[in-house]
Structure 1
Amino acid sequence: MSTVSERLDELGITLPAVAAPVAAYVPAVRTGNQVWTSGQLPFIDGALGTTGRVGAEVTAEEAADLARTAALNALAAVDALVGVDKITRVLKIVGFVASAEGFTGQPTVVNGASNLMGEIFGEAGAHARSAVGVAELPLAAPVEIELIVEVSD
């Protein structure tokens, strides 16, 4: 069985640099055999390429791609703290979607993050999840993703 790093290489995925916090928090913390990330925005090279609410300025398809990007940022936070190869299971994803009035496709948007975990971790990527619609997110981001993973010693 390949390591997580090897699987990322097979998929042609390079983890980004850890996004700098935009307030008073750290990107990830470990307690016991779990790592919890702070909410990660879809930063690319330190900037949001897209802003706005899903169902208005941003399509659900664009937002699903942004959720994938935010999930990669969450994995980068785990990697910086303990190393991505220590991840043994994805436990939970929490996805926040800045939603226009009447938009109800939050689960489809957060699938961008969930599907990525399946691609990388296979069965160990199957996880519990919440997909929540909100009025606004920090910096007018369309999505924010939190990740909880189990890690080995």
Structure 2
Amino acid sequence: MASWKQRLTELGIELPEVAAPVAAYVPAVRSGSQVFTSGQVPFVEGKLAAAGKVGAEIDPEEAKRHARTCVLNALAAVDALVGLDSIVRVVKVVGFVASAEGFSGQPAVVNGASELLGEIFGDAGPHARSAVGVAELPVGAPVEVEMIVEVG
């Protein structure tokens, strides 16, 4: 079995601390062989990395980088609950993009999360996915990502 923590080291990626919930929920929950994460926004060291709508205040390429940060926060939640190396495969990713009127590039933004999961997990990384445009996200975040992983 692959060591996902070793793979992160090879990629020069360090998982952040688990982001503290901003409301009444927990970062991740295990049910059977799956772990479901709560939606993660691009918090870096406890602070929102950017605020605004994609296609207005936030450039789509910047938003794609923020989606990457979101998925690292989700992986940190999984790691804290069951250990990263217990992941068998990524099952599903849902990305929400705070979108300016007329912006329709949500799939490209959420690719920031999906592409990173592919880099980390290889053949265990391809997943089902939704990329949804929304009017607003919590704390003014431009993007939010949640995921489901299978664990062993």
Query: What's the TM-score, normalizing by structure 2?
Result: 0.99
SS at match of 1:57: coil
Gaps of 5+ in 2: none
Alignment of 1:43-122 (within 5 A): 43-122=43-122
Establish whether residue 28 from structure 1 lines up as the match of residue 23 from structure 2.
no
Cα displacement string for residues 93-120 of structure 1 (whole angstroms, at most 9, x for unaligned residues): 0000000000000000000000000000
Distance in 1, Cα, partners of 2:90 & 2:120? 10
SS at match of 1:97: strand
Number of residues paired by the alignment? 152
Cα displacement string for residues 17-59 of structure 1 (whole angstroms, at most 9, x for unaligned residues): 0000000000000000000000000000000121000000001
1:133 maps to which residue?
133
Gaps of 5+ in 1: none
Distance in 2, Cα, partners of 1:12 & 1:147? 22
Distance in 1, Cα, partners of 2:75 & 2:81? 10
Letter paired with 1:100: A
Distance in 2, Cα, partners of 1:40 & 1:49? 12
Question: Could you tell me whether the CA contact under 8 Å between 2:2 and 2:85 is conserved in 1?
Answer: no
1:19 maps to which residue?
19
4+ aligned runs moved over 2 Å, structure 1: none
Query: What's the TM-score, normalizing by structure 1?
Result: 0.98
1:6 maps to which residue?
6
Letter paired with 1:59: D
Letter paired with 1:22: V
RMSD: 0.6
Letter paired with 1:15: L
Letter paired with 1:19: A
SS at match of 2:113: helix
Distance in 1, Cα, partners of 2:125 & 2:27? 21
Q: Percent identical across equivalent pairs?
A: 72
